[in-house]
Every structure is written in structure tokens, then in C-alpha cells.
């Protein structure tokens, strides 16, 4: 993979350092990758339960280097969701932290590397894998949906190179982890910086913890990435008054930032001679599709910007015709080599070739101003962003209907604000539903439950979402 074409040049340069001051080099990654490949024995499917640790980083990069195909999952994934994915895709191996070893059922530990274990599964039905398939990511990881995005080495390489170009990344950059490795935004940071021979600062601490900022200062973090929720927290904890002399760049993606907050951070960046860059992307496009140049951050406040180098945007109306005139809304369409191969919904899909051929209909509604800058105005599809992670509302409904058989559910919402309507009238239903959602998916804290005597549906049984709030029975409301 071209992502590692300069690895021999980087050699003994530090690839990553963690908050315990452990360091690893690019040479050590090369040695790890060789051993991993010898244990796995070829192009096989492996599930990686991710954490922001050096061992997790090595597992991911080692797979990319050797052609092993990883599905990246959060280490805290609920066992029932993990087992459902295992039952659908039949991985040959699991690569998991020691403290999650109980999740590796019907497996044998065949190798340990630091705090991680490589577990061989007793699996007879191994999937056939398309020759160009390099990586699998979930479309809606919180709900355990079997729908995955298939990424190729070309997707990963071209997107990493494009990001490195527009962010002007050089070998001196030192990004600090603020996002999970199973999240496409988090991986894009890793890919683009490894490509340039940078040193990654790896920590499981979050921005609310003093240890995170002590580590950032001590190791001279030069860039910080966040979703809208991250920037809301940063404002609340007094980030703009912090002493961070080495910080040069702040990036934001994972949903639309409120315009007022966008402006505040753009002004802060201008005042402190830093760069604040808002970006736009989807897992289906590997990671990034658009960015707002730092020097336009104030002038085009609220915009998601222009297409990344090597990419192209346009808008289409409902008939599929291209919209030429400015300030006219339509579906945002993107073309570029980073557009992924397509989806997988079952084991047989892993052998499929490239189905998108470089074009992605994003499902987002946008407008374009007279200077060519794009503004997201709405969504065509039923998903929202919760703390930066995409949540498919239909998948949340599916989970709830399976858990609470016999009751109806309908989910609506905006980013960081999920509302669940149900005809379950038990006095404790709201709390039980939110507790279940939080336990299984982690999204319960961004949700509210409301009671309706009957979920409105049309003659064919489809939910009438626009009627949900018209006659709500407020006898039960839980947040």
C-alpha cells in the first residue's frame, strides 16, 4: 500500500507515543506487521476492537500493510451486537484488548502483543474477499447494524494524500487523539499523518480530563480534531484561555457546527494565529469530501466549503438533473477516487467489486453560493449525528422493537437530539428504554422518550413521522 511507501525512509523515527511515555518507531511497525501476517496467514477477515492505544494502532496499520482486512469496532461494543456481526460475517480472527477477552467467544489466543490478544476463531465458513478490499467500517456502529462500508487501498491512499495536501501536513506535525479509531474521522487523521511520517500522540483520556491537556502540553500537540460536541465542550471548559503554545491547527467534522460556534472558534483562531478548518465527509467517501480553507473561515461562516483536491461536487434536483444556478438547493453529489466500493450487508457481499465507480450521492441537501462554496441545509436520509457519530434512526427503531416485542416505536431527531415515540405506557418505560439504549449503544443520554397512544401509520403500514408531534400524550416523557 502506498500509504507506507516511505516507511523505510522514516525508519527509526517515532511513529507514536502514549501518555505513559511509551514510544514506537516506524521500524517497529514493520516488524509487528510481519509477525501479524505470519500468524494470520494471508488475506483474512479480522475484527479489531479498538481503543486509543499503541497496540490498537499497530493492529490497524499492520492489517493495512499486509492486506489483512479489518472491521474496526469500538472495544466497548455490547457483546450481543458483536456476536450478531460475527454471526453475519464469520471473521477468522479477533484482535482484542486483554480486558475484553471475554467477548472473544469460541476463540483461542494464539499471540499477545502488549495489552492485545490475537484470537483465532473456530470458524469453518470463511468469507471470500474482493482483491481490492482493504477495510470495513460500520455505517451506524452504535446500533450494531450489519451494514458495512467497503473501502479499498486506493480509497484510503488518495483520501490520505488529499487531506495531507489541504491541511499542509509535514513530518513535524504531532496530532493528538480525540476521536475513536473505529470512526472514519479518527482513521483519516491516522492515515494522513502516517503518510507524512508524523508522530501520533495516543491517549485514552478525553478533553474533559486534566491528564489530556497535560499530555498535550508535554508532548507538544500541534493539532486537535473534534466533532460539534467536542467544540461545545471546549468552549465550556475554557479552552480559549488555555496555554497551548504548540497548537497550530484545529479541525472539525462529524456534523454541522452551529454557526455561532463556528464564528467563535474562527475568531479565536484568527486572534491566536492558528488555523480553524471545518470539513465535510462520510464513511462512504473514506472520510473527507470537502473543506473550508482556514482563510475563508470567517467570510464563509456556516459553509462546509469546497471539494478536496482530486474531488468534485455538484447538486442535483429530484429528477437527477444538475443544478447550475447558485443558491438553489439540491442533493449534494461527489466524485473522486476516495468514493468507496459500496456496502456489505452480509458475508456474500465481501466479494463484490466496485459498485459506485467513484460517484456518491450523499443524501445531504445543500446549496452553492455564487463563489462555489457549499452549505448543508438538510438531509434526505433518516440519520442524525450523535456526538459526531452517525446514528440511523431506522436502526434504533429496529433495536427497540426487538428488545420490546409487541410495542411500536418511531424515532425522529436532529443532531445530538434523538426523540423516541412509543405506545408502551408502562410508568417506568421511558427510563427503561433510555437505560437499555445507553447500555447497548451509548446514545441514551442524547435521547428523550415520549408516549403516544398510537403511532401514526399510513395504509401500507409506514410510519407518518410528520404527524408524530401533533397529538402527543404527555403522560410519559423521560429525558
372: left (phi over 0), alpha (psi -120 to 50) or beta: left
Other CB atoms within 10 A of residue 310 CB:
14
What is the rounded CA–CA span in Å between residue 400 and residue 436? 9
What is the rounded CA–CA span in Å between residue 393 and residue 390? 9
What is the rounded CA–CA span in Å between residue 348 and residue 339? 21
User: What is the full per-residue pLDDT of the chain (479 aa) written as tens digits?
Assistant: 667 776 678 889 999 999 999 999 999 999 999 999 999 999 999 999 999 999 999 999 999 999 999 999 999 999 999 999 999 999 999 999 999 999 999 899 999 999 999 999 999 999 999 999 999 999 865 566 789 999 999 999 999 999 999 999 999 999 999 999 999 999 999 999 999 999 999 999 999 999 999 999 999 999 999 998 899 899 999 999 999 999 999 999 988 888 889 999 999 999 999 999 999 999 999 999 999 999 999 999 999 999 999 999 999 998 999 999 999 999 999 999 999 999 999 999 999 999 999 999 999 989 999 999 999 987 777 888 888 888 888 888 888 987 898 888 999 988 888 999 999 888 888 999 999 998 888 887 789 999 998 888 865 567 888 888 765 554 456 66
Per-position DSSP letters for 255-279, written without gaps between them: SPPPHHHHHHHHHHHHHTT-EEEEE
Radius of gyration, alpha carbons of the chain: 22
Other CB atoms within 10 A of residue 416 CB:
19
Please name the fold of domain 2-378: Rossmann fold (3.40.50)
Residue with cell 428488545: 403
Q: For the chain, which residues make up each domain, given as ranges?
A: 2-378, 383-478
Q: Are 135 and 318 in contact (CB under 8 A)?
A: no
User: Which residues are CB-contacts of 58 (< 8 A; sequence separation ≥ 6)?
Assistant: 24, 29, 32, 33, 113
Of the candidates 130, 47, 63, the one whose C-alpha atom is nearest the C-alpha of residue 342 is 130
Q: Are 152 and 134 in contact (CB under 8 A)?
A: yes
Please name the fold of domain 383-478: GMP Synthetase; Chain A, domain 3 (3.30.300)
pTM above 0.75, yes or no: yes
Per-position DSSP letters for 236-248, written without gaps between them: HTTGGGS--TT--
What is the rounded CA–CA span in Å between residue 17 and residue 199? 7
- The per-residue pLDDT for range 71-119, each reduced to its tens digit, is 999 999 999 999 999 999 999 999 999 999 999 998 999 999 999 999 9
What is the rounded CA–CA span in Å between residue 15 and residue 62? 13
- The per-residue pLDDT for range 289-300, each reduced to its tens digit, is 999 999 999 999
- The per-residue pLDDT for range 3-41, each reduced to its tens digit, is 777 667 888 999 999 999 999 999 999 999 999 999 999
Residue with cell 499497530: 58
Amino acid at each position: 500500500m502506498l500509504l507506507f511507501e516511505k516507511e523505510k525512509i522514516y525508519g527509526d523515527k517515532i511513529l507514536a507515543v502514549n501518555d505513559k511515555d511509551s514510544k514506537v518507531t516506524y521500524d517497529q511497525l514493520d516488524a509487528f506487521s510481519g509477525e501479524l501476517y505470519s500468524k494470520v496467514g494471508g488475506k483474512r477477515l479480522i475484527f479489531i476492537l479498538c481503543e486509543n492505544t499503541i497496540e490498537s494502532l499497530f493492529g490497524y496499520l499492520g492489517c493495512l500493510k499486509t492486506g489483512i482486512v479489518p472491521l474496526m469496532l469500538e472495544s466497548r461494543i455490547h457483546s450481543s451486537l458483536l456476536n450478531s456481526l460475527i454471526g453475519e460475517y464469520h471473521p477468522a480472527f479477533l484482535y482484542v484488548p486483554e480486558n475484553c477477552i471475554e467477548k472473544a467467544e469460541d476463540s483461542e489466543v494464539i499471540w499477545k502483543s502488549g495489552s492485545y490478544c490475537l484470537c483465532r476463531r473456530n470458524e469453518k465458513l470463511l468469507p471470500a474477499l474482493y482483491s481490492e478490499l482493504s477495510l470495513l467500517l460500520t455505517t451506524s456502529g452504535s446500533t450494531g447494524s450489519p451494514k458495512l462500508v467497503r473501502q479499498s487501498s486506493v480509497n484510503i491512499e488518495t483520501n490520505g494524500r488529499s487531506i495531507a495536501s489541504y491541511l499542509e501536513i509535514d513530518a513535524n506535525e504531532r496530532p493528538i487523539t480525540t476521536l475513536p479509531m473505529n470512526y472514519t474521522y479518527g482513521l483519516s487523521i491516522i492515515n494522513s499523518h502516517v503518510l507524512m511520517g508524523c508522530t501520533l500522540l495516543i491517549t485514552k483520556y478525553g478533553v474533559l480530563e486534566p491528564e489530556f491537556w497535560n499530555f498535550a502540553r508535554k508532548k507538544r500537540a500541534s493539532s486537535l480534531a473534534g466533532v460539534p460536541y467536542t467544540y461545545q465542550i471546549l468552549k465550556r471548559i475554557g479552552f480559549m484561555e488555555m496555554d497551548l503554545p504548540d497548537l497550530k491547527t484545529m479541525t472539525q467534522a462529524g456534523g454541522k457546527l452551529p454557526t455561532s460556534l463556528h464564528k467563535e472558534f474562527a475568531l479565536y483562531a484568527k486572534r491566536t494565529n492558528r488555523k480553524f478548518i471545518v470539513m465535510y465527509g462520510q464513511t462512504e467517501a473514506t472520510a473527507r469530501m470537502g473543506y473550508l480553507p482556514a482563510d475563508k473561515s470567517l467570510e464563509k461562516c456556516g459553509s462546509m466549503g469546497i471539494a478536496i483536491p482530486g474531488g468534485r461536487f455538484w447538486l442535483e434536483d429530484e429528477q437527477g438533473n444538475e443544478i447550475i444556478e447558485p443558491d438553489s438547493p439540491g442533493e449534494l453529489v461527489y466524485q473522486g477516487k476516495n468514493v468507496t466500493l459500496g456496502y456489505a450487508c452480509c458475508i456474500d457481499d465481501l466479494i463484490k467489486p466496485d459498485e459506485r465507480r467513484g460517484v456518491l450521492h450523499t443524501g445531504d441537501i445543500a446549496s452553492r453560493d455564487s463563489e462555489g462554496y457549499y452549505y448543508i441545509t438538510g438531509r434526505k436520509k433518516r440519520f442524525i449525528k450523535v456526538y459526531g457519530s452517525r446514528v440511523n434512526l431506522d436502526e434504533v427503531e429496529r433495536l427497540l422493537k426487538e428488545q420490546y416485542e409487541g410495542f411500536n416505536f418511531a424515532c425522529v431527531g436532529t443532531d445530538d437530539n434523538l426523540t423516541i415515540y412509543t405506545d408502551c405506557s408502562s410508568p417506568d418505560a421511558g427510563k427503561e428504554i433510555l437505560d437499555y439504549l445507553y447500555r447497548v449503544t451509548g446514545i441514551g443520554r442524547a435521547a428523550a422518550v415520549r408516549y403516544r397512544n398510537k403511532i401514526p401509520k399510513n395504509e401500507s403500514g409506514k410510519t407518518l413521522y410528520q404527524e408524530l408531534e401533533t397529538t402527543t400524550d404527555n403522560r410519559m416523557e423521560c429525558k
